[in-house]
Structure 1
Amino acid sequence: MKVAVLGGGHGCYAAAAELSEKGQEVWFWRREASAFEALNANGGVTVRDHAGTRTVPIAHATASLQEAIEAAELVVIPLPAHTHEDLAAACAPYWRDGQIAFLPPGTLGSVLFIQAARAEGNTAKVRFAETGTLPYLVRKHGPAEIVVSAYATRLPTGVFPRSERDEVLDIIREAYPAVEADADILSGALMNAGPIIHPPLIMMNAGPLEHFEAWDIHNEGTQPAIRAVTTALDAERMSLREALGYSAPHFPLADHYTSDGDEWMYGNAAHEKLTDSGDWREKIDLQTHRYMREDTQLGLSMLVSIGRWAGHPMPVAQGLLALASAITGEDLYASGRTLERLGLASLDRASMTEWMNGGH
């Protein structure tokens, strides 16, 4: 299958390498051709994981977004949510009928891509899919080297339009066999683990994050009091899903922290693999880091707005978002990824369901 991978982050390099190694023909896009100098000199992406170390060649490294999208059957966008708005506008002219865009995860980013294409006058019938996490626990260790601590084993994925879900998931499974059928992209967005894991960790570790040169929020930063808040926040997410009529499995985050519960998105004992790697001991700037700008500003605001739309209280999510707004000195709800800003808040539930199914 011909696949485009868009972006230059940790997950983008992992996707380009894994999909190439699986035999897909990959167009790997970054904005600047110079960003691929190290990759070209290296002969590909050097991968270190449970299988050892090897260098994986990439068929097409390109700085032409048009070339990458127009060549692909499947477009994979493993980028932070705060990149979606600009990228959606850049991609808008190039979509063509029958393509699939996969956002792992999405935070309702699919809506931005759909709206940008329509604003461009592009009426191509493109299908979109969103899942609950990046398919990799990965960090770049150089301009052409990555270390993958774990690969996702279960990826609950919602599709727009829902009426084409089964066909779309069959195609995505050629690249990611771990995808599982979720309902629609709203349900898929409510599987996003980032807004559940990261906001409590950065807010409740704010002192050590600002004091020490580096701090591992997933290791010494994950203490019982913080886990209690995370559990309460996740309970709000699952309760909201149920209020909207989405059925289990809801992939409770508690399963990520145990080795004997139901298998979570990265499999059992994934938390130990993450902390053992040491790759998440880092300096986190509470003003700029993606845990604030993606998972809090966009992810938590999304949860709060969906709760408001559904008439379902989200006190822990709203409280954490208020704390984050105080830390940053900004109203993060006003600038967040809300149903109001996406133009969906005026829909009633029946109209939302109709639209998610592929209606107008």
Structure 2
Amino acid sequence: GGSAGQGIAGYLALKGHKINLYNRTPEKIASVAESGNLKVSGVIKCNAKIEKASSDMREILGDVDSILVAVRAFGHESIIKESLPYIKKNATIVVFTGYWAALRLRSILSREQRNDIAIAETTLLPLASEIVEEGHVKISGIKSKMRIAACPVSRTASVYKKLSSVLPQLFPGNNVLETSLESFNPVLHLPIALFNLAEIEKKDKFEFYHDGISPKVARVIDAIDAERMNLIKKLNLDLIKAGEVLREYYETKGSSTYEIIRNCKAYEGYVLPNVFSYVREDLLYGVVPMVSICNLLEISAEASKTLISSWSMVDSVDYWREGVKIDKLGMEGMDREKIFELVTNG
């Protein structure tokens, strides 16, 4: 029930769906819990009806058969562990902005003997949102397309069928390699934040994308993205460059990464909250696993390694040591064919 969760809740409630909203901090959803209404502004303006808003997991999950997880990657494992006792049989869990969530979480489901649950992930969040104040969320943009995939692959069709009427912008991916490697968040966030450190630290309201992008920063973005694309080609995935994804998802225009970001209406005035928390997430769950897989498959990733070491120096944190690597993804010792077996069969 943070900015992403409340944005999604408001968006889906407006479309007539019954929505329960969870946040582990009662004060953050107090007025919604009391009134049953969530104020939504931005590209959508309404008072959305929320069925239940609570910090009680048992109360929220009840008879729910589709659980949409919109917490940061740091919280994926803990929220799944906390919720498992209350999740009904054959339910579906969808993690927005996957960050390799399906592969990371499948071991928990297996250990708890809950393989009846379908676990899926999307490439990104379906919308960009921010909290204005408690009980009020602003939606600044809604994506027109969003890939979803499950692990094992055999469950993707049923998950898509269940959720396509709720989120019509969804389309089925071939596997969770696509959903996790398609995400352009780390590719954009990390170079923009690194080369605007002083401005971010000085300003209360730094418009992350429009203030932070420049032709030279875009050049670094393109270098990181080129390494992502080399891995994608090695895995024979049908994915496109970050700028092209951005152009598709937000229907923005431009002939270069710089122009596409500058022209993106959804990014106008957008202030990325807690920038350095996003940086940490993008390193630990985005670039580190990508480089780890590149190492496994003997693909050069020098620009991405430089990004990891630069941020490690800035934050005095060994991001390579702390990040998600192939051991946590269950890929140790695998070649391309074995990786495909893993994501296909679970």
Same fold (TM over 0.5): yes
CA spacing shift, 1:295–1:283, aligned 2, 3 Å: closer
Please point out which of 72, 93, 110 is paired with 1:101.
Answer: 93
Which residue number in structure 1 is paired with residue 282 of structure 2? 295
Which residue number in structure 2 is paired with residue 313 of structure 1? 300
Which residue number in structure 2 is paired with residue 118 of structure 1? 110
Which residue number in structure 2 is paired with residue 129 of structure 1? 120
Runs of 5+ unmatched residues, structure 1: 1-7, 258-262
Q: Does 1:68 align with 2:60?
A: yes
Q: Does 1:227 align with 2:227?
A: no
- For the 8 Å contact 1:305–1:339, the answer to whether it is kept is yes
User: What SS class does the counterpart of residue 157 from structure 1 fall into?
Assistant: strand
- For the 8 Å contact 1:190–1:237, the answer to whether it is kept is yes
- For the 8 Å contact 2:141–2:250, the answer to whether it is kept is yes
Please point out which of 309, 322, 330 is paired with 2:309.
Answer: 322
CA spacing shift, 1:103–1:95, aligned 2, 3 Å: same
Taking the aligned partners of 2:161 and 2:5, their CA distance within structure 1 comes to 22
Taking the aligned partners of 2:53 and 2:118, their CA distance within structure 1 comes to 24
- For the 8 Å contact 2:104–2:328, the answer to whether it is kept is no
Q: CA deviation at 1:49?
A: 2.7
Taking the aligned partners of 2:301 and 2:184, their CA distance within structure 1 comes to 16
Q: Does 1:23 align with 2:16?
A: yes
For residues 268-314 of structure 1, what are the alpha-carbon distances to aligned partners after superposition, in whole Å with 9 as ceiling and x for unaligned? 258532343x2317674xxxx22222112321112111211222221
Percent identity for Structure 1 against Structure 2: 20
Q: Does 1:38 align with 2:22?
A: no
CA spacing shift, 1:141–1:213, aligned 2, 3 Å: closer
- For the 8 Å contact 1:154–1:267, the answer to whether it is kept is no
1:252-263 to 2 correspondence within 5 Å? 252-255=241-244, 263=247
Letter in 2 for 1:231: D
CA spacing shift, 1:160–1:72, aligned 2, 3 Å: same
Please point out which of 151, 167, 188 is paired with 2:179.
Answer: 188
Taking the aligned partners of 2:85 and 2:48, their CA distance within structure 1 comes to 31
Taking the aligned partners of 2:84 and 2:300, their CA distance within structure 1 comes to 36
Deviates more, 1:346-355 or 1:122-131: 346-355
Taking the aligned partners of 2:201 and 2:223, their CA distance within structure 1 comes to 25
Please point out which of 63, 84, 92 is paired with 1:92.
Answer: 84
Which residue number in structure 2 is paired with residue 4 of structure 1? none
Taking the aligned partners of 1:67 and 1:114, their CA distance within structure 2 comes to 25
User: What SS class does the counterpart of residue 11 from structure 1 fall into?
Assistant: helix
Taking the aligned partners of 1:155 and 1:283, their CA distance within structure 2 comes to 24
Taking the aligned partners of 1:132 and 1:219, their CA distance within structure 2 comes to 23
Deviates more, 1:293-302 or 1:320-329: 293-302
- For the 8 Å contact 1:205–1:217, the answer to whether it is kept is no
Which residue number in structure 2 is paired with residue 5 of structure 1? none
- For the 8 Å contact 2:128–2:140, the answer to whether it is kept is yes
Deviates more, 1:164-173 or 1:86-95: 86-95
Letter in 2 for 1:108: W
Please point out which of 159, 166, 187 is paired with 2:150.
Answer: 159
Letter in 1 for 2:297: A
Which residue number in structure 2 is paired with residue 334 of structure 1? 321
CA spacing shift, 1:29–1:283, aligned 2, 3 Å: closer
Please point out which of 240, 256, 266 is paired with 2:250.
Answer: 266
Taking the aligned partners of 2:334 and 2:87, their CA distance within structure 1 comes to 27
Taking the aligned partners of 1:340 and 1:223, their CA distance within structure 2 comes to 37
Runs of 5+ unmatched residues, structure 2: 254-259
Letter in 1 for 2:252: N
Letter in 2 for 1:150: G
Which residue number in structure 2 is paired with residue 3 of structure 1? none
For residues 180-210 of structure 1, what are the alpha-carbon distances to aligned partners after superposition, in whole Å with 9 as ceiling and x for unaligned? 2211112210011211110001111112223
1:205-216 to 2 correspondence within 5 Å? 205-216=196-207
For residues 210-260 of structure 1, what are the alpha-carbon distances to aligned partners after superposition, in whole Å with 9 as ceiling and x for unaligned? 34444223112100000011112112212211111212xx24222367xxx
Taking the aligned partners of 2:272 and 2:19, their CA distance within structure 1 comes to 31
Deviates more, 1:320-329 or 1:207-216: 207-216
Taking the aligned partners of 1:311 and 1:70, their CA distance within structure 2 comes to 47
Q: Does 1:9 align with 2:2?
A: yes
TM-score (norm 2): 0.90
Q: Does 1:355 align with 2:342?
A: yes
- For the 8 Å contact 1:202–1:291, the answer to whether it is kept is no
Q: CA deviation at 1:29?
A: 1.2
